[in-house]
Amino acid sequence: MDIWPIGVFASVDAGLGVKWDVIKELGVPTIQLHAPHPSKRDQANAEALKKQLDEMNVRCTAVFGGFEGESYADIPTVAETIGLVPPATRPSRLAEMFQISDFAKWLGCDTVALHLGFIPHDTKDPHYEPIVAATCKLCDYCKSNGQFLHLETGQETAEGLLEFIAAVGADNLKINFDPANMILYGTGEPIEALRSLSHHVRSVHCKDGTWSKKPGETWGAEVPLGEGDVNMRKYLETLHEIGYTGPLTIEREIPEDPLRQKQEIGAAIELLSQLRSEFWESE
């Protein structure tokens, strides 16, 4: 079935995704790939990975940018270290994103994605405009490679993201919707957010989490799919309702325990396959 092909978040040598051999074992038709280390982002390496994916019958649906020095240790550290938001590293990271866009093109992938970081909530904040400008440049670059740029949700409210997308004004700027992040960061009810962002959602993560006792100050907890506060049935029902037919990419970030990661992803694949057959059975 071409609707809602199941996928996993994967990595070759960097990032928290499942490893290459696990993709094969799980037998999923799609992945999103965390960009490899800078030294591996050349055309030859991209083409070698593409060949491996073709042999496994796996399609890469997005390449995610990530950078040295990023840390998700706690919410204040995220604000200081993630994405294109910290001014000191913005120029070098923007250059890296151009490199990642080229790498994705060689891989035959039309989508580049990233956590942009904590965009100031106040659009009059002096830091706001330079982030908009950097995102514009990145969108232009991706466009020259025939690509979309997807922003991972989490650190902004739906309203804040809509304002930001309007400020950038690029038709290839879209959203990778992650319902668990909205809960983990305490930025809003994910189902409601999905509805209000629906026109901009071009890829999604299937991840679950529980609310923190102090939303926005401390993390909630990431938990196996179906065991958190997202409500997977409602999530998929809403994706169906807004007409989303793209991949369902499972993200489970417990690289410290690969065996448990694989088991939990296996269970997540079952859950999503079951729900998918319920929602699309009669169509």
Nearer to Mg ion, 34 or 41 (CB): 34
Q: How far is the CB of 205 from Mg ion (least distance, A)?
A: 4
Could you give the string, one character per residue 193-222, with x where binding to Mg ion holds by CB under 5 A and - elsewhere?
A: ------------x-----------------
The stretch near Mg ion (CB under 5 A) out of 117-125, 162-170, 194-202, 250-258 is 250-258
CB 111 within 8 A of CB 202: yes
Q: Would you state the structure tokens that stand for residue 238, as one six-digit string?
A: 């809403």
Name the β-bridge partners of 102. none
Say how many Å lie between the first and final Cα of the chain, rounded. Answer: 11
Quote the CA–CA distance of 261 and 270 in Å, as a whole number.
Answer: 14
Q: Would you state the structure tokens that stand for residue 170, as one six-digit string?
A: 């690029």
Could you give the string, one character per residue 160-179, with x where binding to Mg ion holds by CB under 5 A and - elsewhere?
A: ------------------x-
Which DSSP state fits 218? Answer: S
CA atoms within a 13 Å half-sphere pointing along the CA-CB vector of 89: 17
Nearer to Mg ion, 36 or 179 (CB): 179
The stretch near Mg ion (CB under 5 A) out of 16-24, 93-101, 130-138, 246-254 is 246-254
Nearer to Mg ion, 107 or 250 (CB): 250
Nearer to Mg ion, 205 or 262 (CB): 205
Q: If you write DSSP's letter for every residue of 120-178 in order, what string do you get?
A: -SSTTSTTHHHHHHHHHHHHHHHHHTT-EEEEEPSSS-HHHHHHHHHHH--TTEEEEE-
Q: Would you tell me how many other CB atoms lie within 10 Å of the CB of residue 158? A: 23
Q: How far is the CB of 218 from Mg ion (least distance, A)?
A: 19
Quote the CA–CA distance of 131 and 220 in Å, as a whole number.
Answer: 27
Quote the CA–CA distance of 224 and 48 in Å, as a whole number.
Answer: 33
Q: How far is the CB of 250 from Mg ion (least distance, A)?
A: 10
Which DSSP state fits 165? Answer: H
Nearer to Mg ion, 135 or 181 (CB): 181
Quote the CA–CA distance of 187 and 175 in Å, as a whole number.
Answer: 16
CB 4 within 8 A of CB 243: no
Nearest to residue 196, comparing CAs of 238, 245, 256? 238
The stretch near Mg ion (CB under 5 A) out of 81-89, 105-113, 186-194, 243-251 is 243-251
Quote the CA–CA distance of 230 and 86 in Å, as a whole number.
Answer: 30
Nearer to Mg ion, 86 or 190 (CB): 190
The only residue of 156, 222, 229, 251 in contact with Mg ion, by rule CB under 5 A: 251
Q: Which residues contact 136 (CB under 8 A, 6 or more apart)?
A: 168, 169, 170
Q: How far is the CB of 88 from Mg ion (least distance, A)?
A: 25
Q: Which residue is nearest to Mg ion (CB)?
A: 178
The stretch near Mg ion (CB under 5 A) out of 79-87, 131-139, 210-218, 248-256 is 248-256
Q: How far is the CB of 281 from Mg ion (least distance, A)?
A: 28
Q: How many residues bind Mg ion (CB under 5 A)?
A: 3
Nearer to Mg ion, 178 or 264 (CB): 178
Asked if 156 interacts with Mg ion (CB under 5 A), we say: no
Q: How far is the CB of 52 from Mg ion (least distance, A)?
A: 24
Using CB under 5 A, list all residues that contact Mg ion: 178, 205, 251
